[in-house]
Amino acid sequence: MWWVLFGFASSGTLILLGSLGWLVWEGTGVWGLNNPVGWGWAIVNFVFWVGIGHAGTLISAILFLLRQKWRTSINRFAEAMTIVAVICAGIFPGFHVGRFWVAYYLAPVPNQMGVWPNFRSPLLWDVFAVGTYFTVSLMFWYVGMVPDLATLRDRAKTKIRRLVFGFLSLGWRGGNRQWQHYEVAYLLLAGLATPLVLSVHSVVSTDFATSLLPGWHTTIFPPYFVAGAIFSGFGMVLTLTLIARKVYGLENIITIGHLEKMNKIILVTGSMVGYAYIMEFFISWYSGNIYEVFTFVNRAFGNYAWAYWIMMTCNVITPQFFWFKRVRRSVPMMFVLSIFVNIGMWFERFVITVTSLSRDFLPSSWDYYAPTLWDILTFVGSFGLFFTLFLLFLRFLPAIAMSEVKGVLPQADPHRSDGPAQSEEAVIEGAAP
């Protein structure tokens, strides 16, 4: 089963490499960009993938600080998904610069030309925000994994596995003198990552909000983007978890109760996103600015109305099904709805980016944007890369945070429960208050 999935995923990665290769050979003209739509699928896909990552950080950092013990069953998955999603996100702006081999100009590197990047530009803020986000997520993920890597080291059957996991686990001995600093480190990393959940997508939204374009130039963007990011991220976590849970038979570790809690978060953030859509409409009318009014009427009834209504259907109506407990606890239903969330959130970014650009202030410069084959193949290929890396993670690294799951069991608090071990099921239910 794994090999079948991996076969599909790695073919997707080859498509990605091929389409990026063609892009580099021929230039960004192979994409469907035109004037005035200078930002097309590349930025749409970038925002889409970065947004997906946010659920992982929310689960690993904010839910940790809030002592939500149920997170331990899914946090390793979600963190891995974050890292893989940010890698996929980075590809798009990286190649959108045209000559990707000089993409390092974005970093403040001293050079013989004496030139520095513009620190007042939101695009540069993005480089720092996403770069920090990736680095901190990677460290959080790795530090969380060290005790589990030590478990794999001690259970390794072959010399190669023992050497690799031995190296990666850094000589972890599980002594309490180590756990003491480790636990403080984990808490501090969670504290440092928590503001990132809110800040990274806020900074991404400033790419749009600091411009003067109607439909972009609004102060609602940062919170609206953050809610959307968490919404889309949980949609993707749910999709991946349901598949992995089925393939690996993890029903006793990732229980239906855990899934229900994720669905509640989707309901909350989805409703926030729906509120933001309606509020944007209201403010555009209330502002009295004819360009703003036109942009929003054009979104709903103009030449991209089809995309707008896909977005509204998937993002506003879909999550409302989760008001019903039967839906929240039905695996087939939540799988279908999570797919709709993924689709809807991609279309949200498409609507925001393309409708505003294609109809700006001057009718003579209006144009219709459509992606080319290479846009589509690059996006499809990025899914291939995403699933390839995620499948490799599932196969070779500890996909469930073993030491953390043990750490929330009653036995880890001997003062409270010193009795005989409970049955396995009772123990796992105990982890979900």
Partner 1 sequence: MKTPRAMIASFDTPGGLLHAAEEVRDKGYTRFDCHSSFPIHGMDDAMGLKRSPLGFIVGGMAVLGAVVGMGLQGWVTTVDYPLIFSGKPLWSWQAYIIITFAMLVLFGAFGTVLGMLFLNRLPRWHHPLFTSDRFASVTDDGFFISIEADDPKFDPEQTAAFLASIGGKDIETIEGEAR
Least distance between partner 1 and beta carbon 323 (Å)? 37
For 188-213, letters b (16+ CB in 10 Å) and e give: ebbeebbebbbbbbbbbbbbbbeeeb
Least distance between partner 1 and beta carbon 135 (Å)? 6
Which residue number, 140 or 234, has a Cβ lying nearer to partner 1?
140
Which residue number, 170 or 247, has a Cβ lying nearer to partner 1?
170
* CA separation for the pair 294, 332 (Å, rounded): 41
Which residue number, 293 or 402, has a Cβ lying nearer to partner 1?
402
The residue to which tokens 């600091």 are assigned = 210
Question: What is the CA 245 to chain-centroid distance, rounded?
Answer: 19
- Which of 428, 431, 429, 409 is CA-nearest to residue 418? 409
* CA separation for the pair 408, 307 (Å, rounded): 45
Which residue number, 21 or 174, has a Cβ lying nearer to partner 1?
174
Q: Would you tell me which residues interact with partner 1 (CB under 8 A)?
A: 108, 114-116, 118-120, 124-125, 128-129, 131-132, 135-136, 139-140, 143, 147, 150-151, 153-155, 166-167, 170-185, 188-189, 192-193, 195-196, 199, 203, 206, 402-404, 406-407, 409, 411-416, 418
Least distance between partner 1 and beta carbon 392 (Å)? 23
Least distance between partner 1 and beta carbon 144 (Å)? 11
Phi, psi at residue 366, to the nearest 5°? -65, 145
Least distance between partner 1 and beta carbon 430 (Å)? 14
Least distance between partner 1 and beta carbon 233 (Å)? 19
* CA separation for the pair 169, 152 (Å, rounded): 9
Least distance between partner 1 and beta carbon 423 (Å)? 16
Which residue number, 139 or 243, has a Cβ lying nearer to partner 1?
139
Which residue number, 14 or 109, has a Cβ lying nearer to partner 1?
109
For 129-147, letters b (16+ CB in 10 Å) and e give: bbebbbebbeebbeebbbb
Which residue number, 17 or 187, has a Cβ lying nearer to partner 1?
187
Cβ atoms within 10 Å, residue 424: 9
> Tokens in use for 225?
């983007």
